[in-house]
């Protein structure tokens, strides 16, 4: 499957990133790149710094050292809104949905940046605001169709099972029409069937929209099956980088996951 896709130029380059919280070094001198249209996985044991890495990319954390280059523009640190406007979207490990709102409204919130009318126009809901709402709602409906959640349009998200909430989370990220999709453990806590569905959606997103995907994942089986290239972190350091086969054969990676014989 992955051989059918073509990866393009490098669009995102992370160089010598170091991040510390007081005396705790979360990331030390991390560098890697992401090519257009590829699925790039970041893996590592608990506390390896995977989520910190993602948070640096989308501007939640500001690294003390290093640069991030996106499509030729280099940044010392990123700014969340700017990142979103440049075409990044993300999902969250512990879900950050609006539990009391229904599926449509949650996914609509991902269209926020695409809406240009102001609060007064929206309050009157006439003319431009209405046209905008209709156009955006149509886009959201395509996502609902794509993710096969038609049966839950009007269900408050808090009432949905976990696996479906994850799907809504992905839907909201897709609503931003991202160029790069950052997925923080999309399969965590799912049963086998839910994982299979999610894998299929991730592959479909990559295949149909050509979206570049950076994903953090715990489940090695999933990572090896769907990603083109893998970065391995351990204790905030990069210990491996390459195709799934290369990473699997890397002795440092094996010892980080399985421990070394003493």
**Minimum CB–partner distance for residue 48 and another protein (Å):** 33
Beta carbon nearer to another protein, 9 or 208: 208
Directed axis angle between helix 162-174 and helix 128-146, to 10°? 130
Q: Find, among 5, 43, 29, 34, the residue nearest to 184 by Cα.
A: 43
Q: Determine which residue in the list 153, 218, 237, 248 makes contact with another protein, applying CB under 8 A.
A: 153
Beta carbon nearer to another protein, 118 or 150: 150
**Minimum CB–partner distance for residue 175 and another protein (Å):** 14
CA distances for 111 relative to 36, 140, 228, angstroms: 23, 8, 29
Choose the stretch contacting another protein; rule: CB under 8 A; options: 32-40, 41-49, 172-180, 204-212: 204-212
Q: Check residue 6 for interaction with another protein (CB under 8 A).
A: no
Beta carbon nearer to another protein, 2 or 31: 2
What is d(CA 233, CA 241) in angstroms, rounded to the nearest whole number? Answer: 9
Q: Check residue 131 for interaction with another protein (CB under 8 A).
A: no
Q: Check residue 225 for interaction with another protein (CB under 8 A).
A: no
Choose the stretch contacting another protein; rule: CB under 8 A; options: 34-42, 94-102, 149-157, 248-256: 149-157
Number of neighbours of residue 7 by Cβ within 10 angstroms: 16
Q: Determine which residue in the list 16, 80, 150, 191 makes contact with another protein, applying CB under 8 A.
A: 150
Q: Check residue 134 for interaction with another protein (CB under 8 A).
A: no
Rg (CA), the chain: 19
The two three-digit tokens of residue 178, written as one number: 């991202």
Instruction: Assess contact for 167 and 200: CB atoms under 8 A.
Output: no
Q: Enumerate the β-bridge partners of residue 240.
A: 232
Beta carbon nearer to another protein, 204 or 225: 204
Number of neighbours of residue 176 by Cβ within 10 angstroms: 20
Q: Determine which residue in the list 8, 79, 96, 148 makes contact with another protein, applying CB under 8 A.
A: 148
Q: Check residue 144 for interaction with another protein (CB under 8 A).
A: yes
Beta carbon nearer to another protein, 131 or 142: 142
Q: Find, among 62, 87, 53, the residue nearest to 180 by Cα.
A: 87
> What is the DSSP secondary structure assignment for residue 182, as one 8-state letter?
E
Interface contacts to another protein, rule CB under 8 A: 4, 137-138, 141-142, 144-145, 148, 150-151, 153, 204, 207-208
């Amino acid at each position: 499957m992955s051989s059918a896709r073509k990866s393009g130029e490098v669009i995102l380059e992370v160089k010598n990133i170091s991040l510390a919280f007081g005396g705790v070094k979360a990331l030390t001198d991390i560098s890697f790149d992401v090519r257009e249209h590829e699925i790039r996985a970041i893996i590592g044991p608990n506390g390896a710094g995977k989520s910190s890495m993602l948070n640096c990319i989308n501007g939640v954390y500001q690294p003390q050292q290093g640069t991030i280059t996106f499509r030729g523009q280099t940044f010392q640190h990123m700014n969340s809104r700017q990142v979103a406007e440049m075409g990044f979207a993300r999902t969250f490990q512990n879900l950050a949905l609006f539990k009391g709102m229904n599926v449509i409204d949650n996914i609509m919130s991902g269209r926020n940046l695409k809406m240009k009318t102001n609060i007064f126009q929206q309050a009157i809901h006439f003319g431009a605001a209405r046209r905008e709402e209709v156009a955006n709602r149509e886009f959201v409906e395509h996502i609902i169709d794509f993710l096969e959640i038609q049966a839950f349009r009007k269900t408050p998200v808090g009432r949905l099972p976990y696996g479906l909430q994850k799907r809504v989370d992905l839907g909201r990220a897709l609503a931003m029409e991202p160029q790069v999709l950052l997925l923080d453990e999309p399969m965590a806590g799912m049963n086998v069937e839910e994982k299979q569905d999610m894998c299929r959606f991730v592959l479909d997103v990559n295949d149909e929209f050509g979206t570049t995907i950076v994903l953090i994942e715990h489940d090695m089986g999933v990572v090896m099956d769907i990603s083109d290239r893998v970065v391995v972190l351990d204790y905030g350091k990069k210990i491996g980088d390459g195709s799934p086969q290369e990473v699997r054969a890397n002795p440092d990676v094996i010892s980080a996951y399985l421990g070394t014989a003493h």
